């Protein structure tokens, strides 16, 4: 009973430290998306490479795919791009781009220069589809399953570690 | 006369700059909607610069979202509907006033629980102290000395 008066503050301190420790490892810029495990928002957009061809959400049903939000003006996308180009070569999953608030000219030049990992890039010049997907910091990447449900969202550049630890295992599970 | 001339000269000098000044960005045609939009965006967080409201932020996305809110309001949506629209896309994080639900109980009630807990602890400690004081009566010697001191005090004019 006598120890209690020391144990209670000690326990309170431990709890507080626990919260603060957790806070240290969290990135305040990564806001959990409410769209996880929800149906991907509908869209129909023309392709960057061909204004005459369009792709919609429902065209993608039946396959697991990645939607990568990028833009030619986005600095972190440049950092991420080689990772995507390499990953696309493995053919594990089709990657589609969402070219966010960009111009066709700049986007095509960018893909020419840095390589094109995308099956196709969707052209979203006014960022409307971006808003529907809750995009707030490019690059962002969504893993969408066969039923058109969002299963994972990566905010910020994809790194080889994230691919290896999170995305590839998830894809394996979704494709099983 | 001379003063007036000077004033006119000054006007002429400044006029070209005034003409070149940038106009305020176009606001919606409807001042009522504009006012509602600004009032609502005071309560919403910009996701790009997270310590600013949507109303304050100069981020591109904030401007887009203000435009989106404007258009939703023009379509006749209520403030509540607009909020729900944004929460569906960006999560509760966009609200400066987080909703009351199981994940936010600690946030809402934590400070109150701490306050009540602290006051209870203080009360208990004080109670215990008073009991300790009362539980130690004076022995005969101490009592005699105390009485002596008291009567001594009475004898002197204060």
Report whether B61 contacts A136 (CB < 8 A). yes
Residue B158 lies in a domain: no
Q: Which of B84, B99, B114 is the last residue of a domain?
A: B99
In terms of phi and psi (left: phi > 0; alpha: psi -120 to 50; beta: otherwise), the region of A35 is alpha
Q: How many Cβ atoms from other residues are within 10 Å of residue A155's Cβ?
A: 19
Same domain? For B32 and B88 the reply is: yes
- Comparing CA positions, the residue from A149, A161, A160, A174 lying closest to residue A67 is A149
CB contact under 8 A, B47 and A31: yes
Class of domain A29-175: alpha beta
Residue B16 lies in a domain: no
CB contact under 8 A, A132 and B61: no
Please give the pLDDT value at position B101.
85
Within 8 A by CB and 6+ apart from B24, the residues are none
What value of ipTM does the predicted structure carry? 0.79
Tokens 């309001």 locate to B73
Closest Cα in chain A, distance from residue B60 (Å): 10
CB contact under 8 A, B91 and A31: yes
- Residue B23 pLDDT more than 50? no
Structurally, how many domains does chain B consist of? 2
Same domain? For B53 and B85 the reply is: yes
Give residue-wise pLDDT tens across range B87-143.
999 988 889 888 888 888 888 999 999 999 999 999 999 998 888 877 777 788 888
- Helices (H) and strands (E) counted in chain B, each on its own, are 6, 0
Give residue-wise pLDDT tens across range A11-67.
999 999 999 999 888 887 788 888 999 999 999 999 999 999 999 999 999 999 999
Residue B3 lies in a domain: no
CATH number of the domain that residue B50 is part of? 1.10.8.640
**B90, B104, B107, B114: best to mutate for the A interface, most A CBs within 10 A:** B90
- Which tokens in the block code for residue A52? 């005459």
Query: Could you give the CA distance from residue A170 to residue B10 in angstroms, rounded to a whole number?
Result: 71
Q: Is A127 near chain B, with CB under 8 Å?
A: yes
**A131, A132, A140: best to mutate for the B interface, most B CBs within 10 A:** A131
Residue B44 lies in a domain: yes
Residue B134 lies in a domain: yes
Give residue-wise pLDDT tens across range A124-161.
999 999 999 999 988 999 999 999 999 999 999 999 99
Residue B82 lies in a domain: yes
Contacts of A101 in chain B (CB under 8 A): 60
Same domain? For B29 and B84 the reply is: yes
Please give the pLDDT value at position A23.
87
Closest Cα in chain A, distance from residue B71 (Å): 12
The answer to whether the predicted template modeling score (pTM) of the entire model surpasses 0.95 is no
Closest Cα in chain A, distance from residue B109 (Å): 16
Same domain? For B95 and B144 the reply is: no
Residue B29 lies in a domain: yes
Same domain? For B119 and B95 the reply is: no
Residue B94 lies in a domain: yes
Q: Is A28 near chain B, with CB under 8 Å?
A: yes
**Searching chain A, which residue's CA lies closest to the CA of residue B50?**
A29
Same domain? For B107 and B94 the reply is: no
Q: Which domain covers residue B144, as residue numbers?
A: 103-152
The partner residue sitting opposite B90, judged by closest CB among A29, A127, A136, is: A136
Contacts of A29 in chain B (CB under 8 A): 50
Same domain? For B85 and B133 the reply is: no
Q: Is A34 near chain B, with CB under 8 Å?
A: yes
Contacts of A132 in chain B (CB under 8 A): 89
Q: Is A115 near chain B, with CB under 8 Å?
A: no
Q: What residue spans of A25-159 are helical by DSSP H?
A: 75-90, 104-114, 128-132
Q: Which of B59, B79, B99 is the last residue of a domain?
A: B99
């Amino acid at each position: 009973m006598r120890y209690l008066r020391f144990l209670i503050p000690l326990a309170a301190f431990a709890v507080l430290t626990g919260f603060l420790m957790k806070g240290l490892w969290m990135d305040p810029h990564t806001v959990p998306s409410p769209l996880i495990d929800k149906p991907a928002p509908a869209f129909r957009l023309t392709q960057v490479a061909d204004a005459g061809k369009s792709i919609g959400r429902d065209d993608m049903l039946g396959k697991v795919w990645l939607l990568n939000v990028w833009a030619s003006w986005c600095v972190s996308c440049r950092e991420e791009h080689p990772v995507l180009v390499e990953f696309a070569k493995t053919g594990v999953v089709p990657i589609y781009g969402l070219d966010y608030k960009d111009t066709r000219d700049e986007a095509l030049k960018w893909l020419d220069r840095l390589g094109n990992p995308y099956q196709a890039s969707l052209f979203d010049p006014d960022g409307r589809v971006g808003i529907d997907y809750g995009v707030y910091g490019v690059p962002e990447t969504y893993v969408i399953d066969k039923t058109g449900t969002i299963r994972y969202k990566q905010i910020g550049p994809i790194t080889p570690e994230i691919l290896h630890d999170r995305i590839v295992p998830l894809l394996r599970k979704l494709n099983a | 006369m001379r003063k007036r001339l000077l004033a006119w000269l000054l006007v002429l000098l400044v006029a070209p700059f005034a003409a070149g000044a940038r106009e305020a960005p176009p606001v919606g045609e409807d001042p009522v909607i504009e006012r509602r939009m600004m009032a609502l965006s005071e309560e919403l967080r910009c996701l790009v610069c997270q310590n600013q409201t949507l109303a304050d932020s100069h981020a591109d996305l904030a401007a887009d979202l203000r435009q989106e809110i404007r258009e939703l309001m023009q379509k006749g949506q209520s403030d509540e509907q607009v909020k729900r629209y944004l929460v569906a896309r960006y999560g509760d994080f966009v609200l400066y006033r987080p909703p009351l639900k199981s994940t936010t109980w600690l946030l809402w009630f934590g400070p109150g629980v701490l306050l009540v807990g602290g006051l209870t602890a203080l009360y208990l400690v004080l109670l215990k102290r008073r009991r300790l004081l009362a539980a130690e009566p004076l022995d005969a010697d101490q009592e005699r000395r105390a009485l002596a001191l008291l009567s001594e005090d009475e004898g002197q004019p204060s």
